[in-house]
Structure 1
Amino acid sequence: MVTNGLSGVASSQVVRWECPPAPALFVDRTAELRQLVELCATRRKALLLVLDGPPGAGKSALARKLADAARESFPDGQLYADLREHRRGGGVELSGVVEGFLRSLGVSEPLPSDLSRLTGLLRSLLHDRRLLIVVDHVTTAEEVVRWLPNGDTCAVAVTSNHDLDELHQYGAVRVQIERLPLDDGVALLREHCGAQRVDAEAEAARRLVTLCDGLPLALNLVGAKLRRRTSLALADVAATLAAEPESVVLAAFDFAHDDLSQQARRLWALLGVHRGGELSVGAVAALMPGPEDVLEELTRANLLEWDELAGRVRLGEVGARHAARRAEENLTP
């Protein structure tokens, strides 16, 4: 039993390995995983990793792969939190997150209710421990900064649909998780239902990857359906996805959309009126005058790509269908 001199709170030196397992089907992220593992192994000070990218791109899966692959770099264990479980109304109840960490560290005594005292205790207990803390589904920098360790031995890896640019001042290393290239998306489908079946319908398989916008979450949902129904043709699934705007693959975008401001939600719906998934910034301005700030918010949420030099905005196949659904729900009189 160890007693923290500042607080008088005792904690037992338990080693926790809390990060959930990574999915067995995992393709393409070799370079990103190697980079992350090397950063953990060679760190000489506190390390903050930010894995961001479009909804459904596989950020959480990569963070979990990292937790497994870098285990030797963190002999004092791993802590884990999914901020979706702590959302109350429009924000995160950070006191619940910090309390969870403290309980995992072995604190059994009653805890203070004040967040600043909770975070002070957490930082004291983490100060000399070589721990990896993985936090999923972060939406704002404040959700990390309020409890960020102040020692040199811990590493924190967070996943987000947003570009958490404010964390740069805390030394964050940003790793952008992109959509899967076409061939890697096909490889993921092979993992689900076998090379023979996929190769027999190679064109339909490529169409499925395109319809899923290269998002592992969507491809895993489709692959699981194909695996369950062995007689189902890939071409039939592709036709269904193309025809059904309410398809389950759109669920990957719902979480990011719900965190948008009212103006950003409105522009997203307005973009859904434009069929095609790509348009000029001038066309966007016709939908909403002076759209730059709102476009930046949508870009930071990884819902679209904004090429300022070319003056073009791209939603992608899944994004365009999600926006079209929001247009139908919110813009119809």
Structure 2
Amino acid sequence: MSFKTIAVIGAGTMGNGIAHVFAQHGYDVQLIDVSETALQKGLATIGKNLDRQVAKGLLSEADKTATLGRITSHTSIAAGVANADLVVEAATENTHLKLSIFKEIDAAAPAHCILASNTSSISITKIAAATSRPAKVIGMHFMNPVPVMKLVEIINGYATEATVTSQIVELSKALGKVPAVANDYPGFVANRILMPMINEAIYTLYEGVAGVESIDTIMKLGMAHPMGPLQLADFIGLDVCLSILQVLHDGFGQPKYAPCPLLVNMVTAGKLGAKSGEGFYTYTAGSKELVVSPQFK
């Protein structure tokens, strides 16, 4: 199968990054979001990220113009997926929302179209069951920031055809990514390993074993991690971390996946990390300095 038109649902951080990468590599992209404001913000982010690539000598101005020219925006799913060869859903990590979106995609997309989800933890098998084409449903879990990170975690649902998997693997390579295939169990591979580590770091803070800076410094310098687990949690979004841990806890029924009460409280209080301006650290626009949140000093 030859991929020409890619529909991306969701113009947020992951969606605009996915649209950016596909458009940069020559694919026609239909970027879809229910909010026109979100679409304009997503397109502006793509423009800024392309400007950074131009400034670093990774792209020419002509490449930037061509990339932006390949992206068309829509507020209608039906219109956006009508001619798609692949749909990549990158909406909020909410099961009911994703099932609703996939029912709508399935009704409007061409019969040959492959349906992929960028979900970081929700069952691909469950998503596929909401469609009439479970054999053509697969997970494409890109990493953030999408234009920079090489990995795409490819997740096979229970019914995903082997030919679909091989096509998505080859497509990922064509984007300059490194695909790694996993099967559909809670958290897949990346988050099944990562989230318990982040949760344990939060427990370590919660129990007073060490402070925010010490925990992150020990993991960065002792384990050669590019950023500490608490900073990473802020970057991912504490609400997203909580959602993934809940999927793991519900899926396996084991207490080791139970979210730390401190994480639950922070999300309830609206302290979601970098996107809300405060998590384990506080974030000021235009500043890259890491400042520990007042409550943890």
TM, length-normalised to structure 2: 0.32
Work out which structure has the larger RCO, using CA pairs closer than 8 Å and 6 or more positions apart in sequence: 1
Higher Rg of the two aligned structures: 1
